[in-house]
């Protein structure tokens, strides 16, 4: 290959922007629509197969390969391509390219420069500092800007300066942000410095050529090119609308932002400050308009056009939109005369008098000569320092004449971002700004900081006025008096009176979020970006690797909101990987159920359980709807916003769904043996005196459970042991084997636990806890006819297990002198009599989930497969995005290490040092609240 050919091949492809909306006819895909501003990459170099006035280009926004007339394309200078590439909005690309000066400023802006970034609501600007500029990954040409947020925006970022593990710059967590060029607003000082440099150095020829090329499209009517017939895929572009009109003018706009202007309205001339000058979105052909911040409340524009925020105003009454032809620069006669240059040393550190301050008439002339120079870095020039404009020397006037002077002062000011505005003449409107007595505020630009000590009215001034105590002395300050009337007290030269609408919150501190009704906020609109889908089809739970792949990660599980962790953990434990409780979802509706029952069943099945099993995620708005139904059904008004316990939630839920009780228990000590039904069972370790004839056990004197409580060992009990002792000493039996058995662990307040650790037994044997069931003798395995409570603690006969005997063994065991005081109970034998050893199947239940609590926060562990290490950990509030009005981020992670501890015996577990337990194992063993067991075989029939 020749050198010329190699250089030609390596030359980077040109980039273009589509000049107008296009429709492209394709033989295979039909009509392809392109938006003006779509970014295209040239695919063939000129002279090498690209003949005529058409180019083959690849549209980077959608990947289409199309042929477009060159007249419908705007070439992008190579040095600006990287800045436009990450901009997702095509209209924003055109707007940026129409202002190449701003793009060049961004391209050469030094690191550490101050700027503003659009963040949050449309039109909301935040102060930031440039820390990085360039691509985020290797091989990428898109240029993004890494910013350090400052002032009230601190904590509203989404990074610490790193991207995918690569540290691009350093900053605290939540203070970094990567944004494209269209979200950056240059500060006025940076624009002024750059304009001065541009006057000293001529602009590059490529820039003028690009502007000329961009403006040439404004008056061209491009005829649609004819389709090519020589290709199988013939894609030809034709304009879908009027010829392209650039959003940006070729020459600078007639008015600059911040310039003073005036206009006639209702036989009066009103003045204000330009906040916007340019064409409206989608109306470039109709000329430019001017948005004005008015001096008086006669406006009717909020700064938006067709839903797009163009600029910001304090309120609707202070914004006005006019065609540029009806606006004129404010004449000098309406402005203040030039200042008197008779500076005098100030009382304290030099600080400019706020332009928006209200100065009493008697202070105007007295303070005039004390006006210090502005806070700007003096340059070594022979020219005198220009002082800011001040009020003319006037004679003392009555308060009625003060209004005009005040309006004159304000009209010449250039306030910064303002708080929400006020309607003139309405008391109490200042509450809408969020400012009140005691609020920390700033005024003027550069800002002066202080605290509001008084808000009220001053004679002759139609608006509310704030009295502020400044942080530093001011030559034009007072001691809290105005026109001889004291409104508050402060040190001399620290008091300042300004109109309340010119006050804004202190940008050095984050603004407090407005209190929001979190119950009403949790809806499909506010949680739209976090929403989950509805699934009508019955969806079985997933298991093993499929469950781990679907559930594991952030934004997985059930999203928490407003103290909902008790509900989230309970539902995830019951339904994520187990179907033993699915009967509550599939019960047929009865006429007596009521509308709330059917609504709750449909909500639980189609909005929560099925989406959880299908997609692995459920939004908090779905569970909030269920909480509202529970609150409406019960007399308890706290289900939507208060902390609850899982057993309270499950009982209310099953009652609402008219679910048949999961457990049926009978007392064997009562003569009538009345059947009791419930959904959960609370384990109560017995507190009975030890039998005097039994040897002293290792456990405490008031518990028959073997607890290893030496000084260097944990007190440990298994769920199997707790269940047996609780049933035995309460004289209870299961009337029938349950398909699902929720067991609540014994806890006595948050500061005291009866056990250091509770071992959730992987399987529990309930054979000996079933009533009217054949049981084996503990000694000879024949059919048992007697059961003895006191023998449970006997260390000579299999301690820690239920003792039941046949007739012969019962006589022999209790013939011993130390057991003669025992009182064995007769056990009913069904279908008897029976002879010989009993060969039967033991009834066992398997552990499938554990709900734990720590500091009033519930989490869950779920077993998702048959292996001992198949465990998942779920936390509905593991992370948080935003502040008080933010969103919780649920998290599911794999925790195979807990399987190793669950396979240990009580004796081995009690010897483990609690400090050596890993976090998940510690939470599972030491903070267990509810253990869920099930019988997969029985669940098929119930």
Active site residues: 565, 857
What is the full DSSP assignment across 923-935?
HHHHSEEEEEEE-
Q: Could you give the 3-state DSSP secondary structure of residue 544?
A: helix
Q: Is beta strand 857-863 parallel, antiparallel or unpaired with respect to 844-854?
A: antiparallel
Q: Which SS3 state, helix, strand or coil, does residue 10 take?
A: helix
Give yes or no for a cis peptide into 254 (omega within 30° of 0).
no
CA angle 48, 50, 54 (to 5 degrees): 165
Q: Indicate the pairing of strand 681-682 with strand 740-744.
A: parallel
Q: State both tokens at 509.
A: 């501190």
- From the number of C-beta atoms within 10 Å of its C-beta (0-12, 13-18, 19+), residue 164 rates as exposed
Task: Classify residue 590 by burial, with Cβ atoms within 10 Å: 0-12, 13-18, 19+.
Answer: exposed
Phi and psi of 580, rounded to 5°? Answer: -70, -20
CA angle, corner 620, sides to 616 and 622, nearest 5? 85
846 vs 226: CA distance, rounded Å: 74
DSSP E strand stretches across 577-635: 617-618
Query: What is the token pair recorded at 866?
Result: 């048959």
- Coil, helix or strand for 863? strand
- For 881, residues 6+ apart whose C-beta sits below 8 A from its C-beta are 887, 889
For residues 902 and 720, the answer to whether their CB atoms sit within 8 Å is no
- Torsion over CA of 83, 89, 94 and 98, rounded to 10 degrees? -60
DSSP of 183-234: GEEE-HHHHHHHHHHHHHSPPPHHHHHHHHHHHHGGG--PPPPPPPSSSSS-
What are the helix (H) ranges across 839-885? none
How far apart are the C-alpha atoms of 460 and 356, rounded to whole Å? 16
């Amino acid at each position: 290959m020749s050198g010329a050919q190699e250089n030609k091949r390596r030359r980077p492809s040109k980039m273009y922007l589509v000049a107008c909306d296009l429709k492209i006819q394709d033989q295979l895909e039909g009509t392809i629509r392109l938006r003006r501003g779509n970014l295209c990459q040239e695919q063939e170099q000129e002279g090498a197969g690209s003949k005529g006035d058409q180019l083959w280009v690849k549209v980077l926004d959608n990947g289409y390969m199309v042929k477009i007339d060159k007249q419908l394309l705007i070439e992008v200078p190579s040095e600006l391509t990287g800045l436009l590439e990450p901009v997702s909005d095509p209209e924003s690309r055109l707007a940026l390219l129409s202002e190449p000066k701003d793009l060049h400023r961004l391209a050469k802006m030094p690191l550490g420069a101050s700027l503003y970034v659009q963040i949050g609501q449309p039109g909301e600007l935040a102060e930031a500092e440039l820390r990085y500029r360039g691509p985020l990954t290797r091989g990428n040409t898109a240029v993004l800007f890494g910013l350090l947020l400052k002032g009230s925006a601190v904590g509203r970022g989404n990074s610490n300066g790193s991207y995918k593990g690569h540290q691009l710059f350093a900053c605290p967590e939540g203070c970094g942000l990567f944004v494209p060029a269209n979200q950056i607003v240059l500060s006025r000082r940076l624009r002024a410095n750059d304009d001065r440099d541009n006057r000293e150095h001529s602009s590059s020829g490529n820039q003028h050529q690009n502007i000329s090329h961009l403006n040439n499209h404004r008056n061209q009517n491009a005829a649609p090119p004819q389709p090519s017939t020589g290709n199988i895929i013939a894609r030809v572009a034709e304009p879908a609308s009027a010829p392209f009109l650039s959003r940006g003018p070729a020459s600078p706009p007639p008015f600059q932002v911040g310039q003073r202007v005036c206009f006639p309205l209702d036989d009066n001339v009103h003045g204000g400050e330009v906040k916007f000058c340019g064409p409206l979105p989608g109306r470039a052909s109709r000329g430019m308009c001017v948005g004005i911040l008015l001096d008086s409340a006669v406006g009717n524009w909020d700064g938006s056009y067709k839903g797009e925020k163009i600029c910001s105003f304090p309120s609707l009454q202070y914004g006005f939109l006019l065609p540029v032809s009806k606006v004129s620069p404010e004449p000098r006669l309406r402005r203040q005369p030039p200042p008197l240059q008779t500076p005098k040393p100030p009382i304290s550190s030099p600080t400019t008098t706020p332009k928006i301050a209200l100065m009493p008439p008697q202070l105007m002339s007295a303070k005039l000569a004390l006006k210090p120079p502005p806070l700007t870095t003096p340059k070594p020039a022979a020219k005198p320092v220009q002082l800011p404009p001040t009020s003319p020397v006037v004679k003392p006037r009555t308060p009625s004449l003060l209004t005009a002077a005040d309006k004159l002062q304000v009209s010449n000011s250039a306030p910064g971002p303002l708080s929400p505005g006020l309607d003139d003449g309405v008391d109490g409107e200042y509450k809408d700004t969020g400012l009140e007595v005691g609020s920390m505020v700033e005024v003027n630009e550069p800002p002066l900081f202080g605290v509001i000590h008084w808000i009220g009215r001053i004679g002759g001034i139609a608006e509310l006025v704030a009295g502020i105590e400044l942080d530093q002395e001011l030559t034009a300050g007072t001691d809290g008096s105005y026109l001889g009337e004291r409104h508050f007290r402060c040190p001399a030269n620290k008091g300042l009176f300004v109109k309340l609408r010119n006050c804004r919150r202190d940008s050095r501190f984050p603004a407090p979020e407005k209190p929001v009704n979190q119950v009403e906020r949790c809806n499909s609109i506010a949680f739209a970006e976090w929403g989950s889908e509805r699934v009508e089809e019955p969806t079985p739970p997933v298991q093993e690797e499929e469950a781990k792949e679907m559930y594991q990660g952030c934004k997985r599980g059930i999203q928490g909101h407003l103290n909902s962790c008790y509900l989230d953990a309970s539902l995830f434990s019951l339904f994520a990987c187990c179907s033993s409780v699915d009967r509550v979802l599939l019960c047929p509706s009865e006429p007596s159920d009521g509308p709330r029952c059917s609504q709750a069943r449909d909500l639980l099945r189609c909005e929560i359980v099925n989406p959880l099993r299908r997609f692995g995620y459920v939004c908090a708005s779905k569970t909030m709807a269920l909480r509202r139904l529970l609150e409406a059904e019960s007399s308890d008004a706290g289900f939507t916003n208060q902390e609850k316990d899982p057993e309270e939630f499950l009982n209310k839920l099953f009652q609402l769904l008219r679910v048949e009780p999961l457990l049926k228990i009978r007392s064997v000590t009562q003569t009538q043996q009345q059947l009791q039904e419930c959904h959960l069972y609370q384990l109560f370790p017995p507190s009975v005196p030890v039998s005097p004839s039994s040897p002293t056990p290792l456990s405490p004197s008031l518990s028959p459970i073997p607890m290893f409580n030496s000084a260097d060992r944990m007190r440990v009990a298994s769920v199997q042991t707790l269940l047996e002792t609780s049933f035995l000493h309460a004289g209870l039996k299961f009337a029938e084997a349950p398909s699902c058995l929720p067991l609540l662990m014994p806890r006595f307040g948050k500061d005291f636990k009866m056990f250091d650790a509770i071992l959730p037994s992987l399987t529990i044997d309930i054979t000996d806890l079933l009533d009217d069931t054949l049981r084996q003798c503990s000694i000879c395995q024949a059919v048992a006819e007697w059961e003895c409570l006191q023998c449970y603690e006997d260390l000579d006969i299999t301690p820690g297990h239920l003792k039941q005997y046949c007739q012969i063994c019962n006589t022999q065991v209790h013939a011993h002198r130390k057991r003669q005081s025992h009182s064995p109970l007769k056990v009913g034998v069904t279908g008897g009599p029976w002879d010989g050893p009993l060969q039967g199947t033991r009834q066992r239940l398997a552990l499938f989930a554990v709900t734990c609590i720590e500091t009033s926060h519930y989490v869950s562990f779920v077993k998702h497969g048959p292996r001992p290490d198949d465990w998942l950990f779920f936390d509905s509030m593991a992370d948080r995005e935003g502040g008080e009005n933010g969103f919780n981020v649920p998290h599911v992670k794999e925790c195979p290490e807990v399987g190793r501890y669950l396979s240990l015996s009580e004796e081995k577990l009690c010897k483990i040092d609690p400090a050596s337990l890993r976090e998940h194992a510690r939470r599972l063993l030491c903070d267990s609240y509810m253990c869920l067991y099930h019988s997969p075989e029985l669940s098929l029939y119930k």
